């Protein structure tokens, strides 16, 4: 009897293996028999094992993408995983194909189930598609205006002056983990230019009635611990003091947003304001057909906070690290800034932004090498195909059956040697002349590109210009790393971990006053 059971078990196992082999062959044939990368477990299943929300945006930044493309021989390849089901995901690092995907959003919609976790405060311009997305976009886009960018410039300059004069007090030397500098910097900027709520480096002590923490405290926790909130079930948030504080921060922030909506809506005399919150509220009140609900307003403001704070803070942190590692680059930034700010008493004006091309090139080069989002997920909305190229310039058509998962591989695209010379080197000057714009998508592209791009470019330009005008930056010398090579130091400084965006682990920097 035992032998029969064993034989039956082996038969079933063999049948299962054969079935999977046949499924694999069909899956490979469906995408044109391109060279396939095989993986036992799909990333979404792996995410469930490590208790992460099921989204490709949480994939580790150190995946061996370049090797995969080299093995495939083309600027796209199908990745086929076997568990929990046979899943085909086409990774694309071909600029022309990516442009087609991002231009035709109806043919290549977002897989909205992957964006469910960031609907914490309500649906928004990022988590919607079709007519609902058009409603959000129509109202959200005007919030980002020339008037708002001027406000971003002015508020960033004000916050930087407060940092240099009040917080640092023009100290001859400052040692800091860069993320401990960039997190509060970008938080204060988004609080002011995003919410019209000025907060400063000084501690905010007054807690308004009906709240258990200040606006500054709640917005800080919401923006820095959103990842923890996403992976923690609501019923667990009362287990520890830390989790209760996390729950209270989100509850307080939600209440603050609705209070601000009510206050600004009920004022008899409307103030002249340029912050995103006010602009968004005014835009929806002027809309006659499809207004946003208060919950949708809150959802969009949260997305502005998330993108305007964490994303910018991490990119700025990495940018400062590059400048510290490449002193000749920061010297060139300093020389450029000196032409705009001839004396220490000179003030940066919004009109000066166009006179700082190399400073902005440093931001672009950082975004190229370390894009905030490594993969942009799409899905094939119909049976269709894409034309894919290889290093020899040959072209081949890849079929995409309806439902095929597509991953715009930002990280691989930005280091594709067909479009970027010395792709792994930090060379900001590549952005000063003609450069391959279709091979640079840190903000995505097409109709669904990031509407906050100019906001981020503006604040980072001001921060870098004002900071480097007064301080030199270097990687902090620590005894335990005294004998490391340049490449070892570079790897240590740019160590990162998974998060909503590519997240630095530790970037110890020393700022030395220039005069």
**Residue 376 resides in a domain:** no
Shared domain for 43 and 15, answered yes or no, is: yes
Q: What is the CATH number of the domain that holds 205?
A: 1.10.630.10
- Res 20 pLDDT > 70: no
Does residue 115 sit within a domain? no
Could you give phi then psi for residue 378, rounded to 5 degrees? -140, 175
Mean pLDDT of 70-87: 78
The answer to whether residue 305 is domain-embedded is yes
Note the pTM of the prediction, 2 decimals: 0.87
Question: Does 256 map to a domain?
Answer: yes
User: CA torsion 262→263→268→273, rounded to 10°?
Assistant: -110
Residues 361 and 399 in one domain: no
- One domain for residues 74 and 145: no
When pLDDT is averaged across residues 50-66 and rounded to a whole number, the result is: 42
Is the pLDDT reported for residue 236 higher than 70? yes
113 belongs to a structural domain: no
Cβ contacts of 55 within 8 Å, gap of 6 or more: 44, 47, 114, 115, 117, 377
Residue 132 sits in which domain range? 123-371+421-513
Instruction: Examine the domain organization and report whether 441 and 399 are in the same domain.
Output: no
Tell whether 208 and 333 lie within a shared domain: yes
Count of domains forming the chain: 2
- Tell me what the pLDDT averaged over the chain comes to: 83
**Same structural domain, 25 and 58:** yes
Tell me what the mean pLDDT of segment 458-466 comes to.
Answer: 95
Clarify whether residues 55 and 127 are in a common domain.
no
Check residue 387 and give its pLDDT.
93
Closest Cα partner for 82 from 22, 20, 19? 20
Q: Look at residue 367 and tell me if it is in a domain.
A: yes
- Asked if residue 409 and residue 427 are part of one domain, the reply reads no
pLDDT band for position 7 (50/70/90)? low
Same-domain pairing of 347 and 481:
yes
By the 8 A CB rule, do 515 and 344 touch?
yes
- pLDDT per residue as tens digits for the range 296-350: 888 888 888 877 788 899 999 999 999 999 999 999 999 999 999 877 667 888 9
- Classify the phi-psi angles of 362: left when phi > 0, otherwise alpha if psi is within -120 to 50, otherwise beta: alpha
The predicted structure's pLDDT at residue 195: 78
Task: Reply yes or no on whether the pLDDT at 224 is more than 80.
Answer: no
Cβ within 8 Å of residue 73, ≥6 positions away? 35, 390, 391
Residues 433, 478: one domain?
yes
Contacts of 338 (CB under 8 A, 6+ apart): 469
**Based on the domain organization, do 143 and 263 belong to the same domain?**
yes
How many residues does this entry show for the chain? 515
Selected residue with higher pLDDT from 1 and 413: 413
| Residue 8 shares a structural domain with residue 39 | yes
Query: In terms of pLDDT, which residue wins out, 175 or 308?
Result: 175
Give pLDDT, residue 337: 94
Residue at 378 is within a domain: no
DSSP state of 82: E
In a domain, 118, yes or no: no
Instruction: Please give the span between the terminal C-alpha atoms of the chain, in angstroms, as a whole number.
Output: 89
CA dist., res. 10 & res. 12, Å (int): 5
């Amino acid at each position: 009897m035992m032998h029969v059971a064993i034989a039956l078990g082996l038969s079933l196992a063999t049948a299962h293996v054969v079935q999977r082999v046949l499924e694999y062959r069909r899956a490979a044939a469906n995408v044109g028999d391109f060279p396939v990368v095989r993986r036992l477990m799909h990333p979404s299943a792996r995410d469930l094992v490590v208790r992460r929300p099921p989204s490709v945006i949480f994939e580790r930044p150190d995946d061996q993408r370049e090797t995969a493309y080299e093995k495939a021989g083309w600027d796209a390849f199908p990745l086929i995983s076997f568990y929990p089901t046979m899943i085909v995901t086409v990774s694309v690092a071909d600029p022309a194909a990516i442009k087609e995907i991002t231009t035709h959003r109806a043919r290549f919609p977002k897989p909205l189930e992957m964006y469910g976790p960031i609907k914490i405060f309500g649906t928004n311009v990022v988590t919607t598609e079709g007519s609902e997305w058009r409603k959000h976009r129509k109202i959200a886009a005007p919030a980002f205006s020339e008037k708002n960018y001027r406000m971003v410039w002015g508020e960033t300059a004000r916050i930087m002056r407060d940092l240099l004069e009040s917080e640092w007090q023009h100290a001859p030397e400052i040692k800091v983990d860069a993320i401990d500098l960039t997190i509060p910097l970008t938080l204060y900027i988004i609080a002011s230019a995003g919410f019209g709520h000025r907060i400063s480096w000084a501690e905010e002590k007054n807690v308004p009635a009906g709240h258990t923490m200040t606006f500054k405290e709640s917005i800080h926790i919401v923006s820095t611990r959103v990842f923890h909130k996403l992976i923690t079930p609501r019923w667990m948030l009362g287990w520890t003091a830390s989790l209760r504080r996390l729950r209270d921060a989100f509850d307080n922030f939600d209440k603050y947003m609705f209070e601000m909506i009510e206050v600004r809506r009920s004022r008899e005399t409307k103030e002249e304001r340029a912050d995103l919150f006010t602009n968004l509220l005014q835009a929806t009140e002027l809309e006659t057909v499809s207004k946003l609900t208060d919950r949708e307003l809150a959802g969009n403001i949260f997305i502005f906070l998330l993108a305007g704070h964490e994303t910018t803070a991490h990119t700025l942190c990495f940018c400062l690290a590059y400048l510290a590692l490449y002193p000749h680059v920061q010297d060139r930034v300093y020389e450029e800034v000196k032409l705009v700010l001839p004396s220490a008493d000179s003030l940066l004006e919004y009109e000066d932004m166009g006179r700082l091309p190399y400073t902005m090139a440093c931001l672009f080069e950082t975004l190229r090498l370390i894009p905030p989002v490594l993969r942009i997920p799409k899905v094939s909305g119909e049976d269709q195909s894409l034309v894919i190229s290889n290093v020899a310039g040959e072209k081949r058509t890849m079929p995409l059956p309806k439902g095929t998962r597509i991953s715009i591989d930002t990280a691989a695209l930005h280091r594709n040697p067909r479009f970027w010379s010395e792709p792994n080197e930090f060379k900001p000057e590549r952005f000063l002349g003609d450069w391959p714009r279709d091979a640079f998508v840190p903000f995505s592209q097409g109709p669904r590109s990031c509407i906050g791009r100019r906001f981020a470019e503006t604040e980072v330009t001001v921060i870098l210009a004002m900071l480097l005008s007064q301080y030199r930056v270097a990687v902090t010398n620590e005894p335990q790393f005294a004998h490391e090579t340049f490449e070892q130091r570079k790897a240590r400084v740019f160590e990162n971990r998974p998060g909503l965006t590519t997240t630095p682990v530790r970037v110890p920097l020393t700022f030395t006053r220039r005069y």
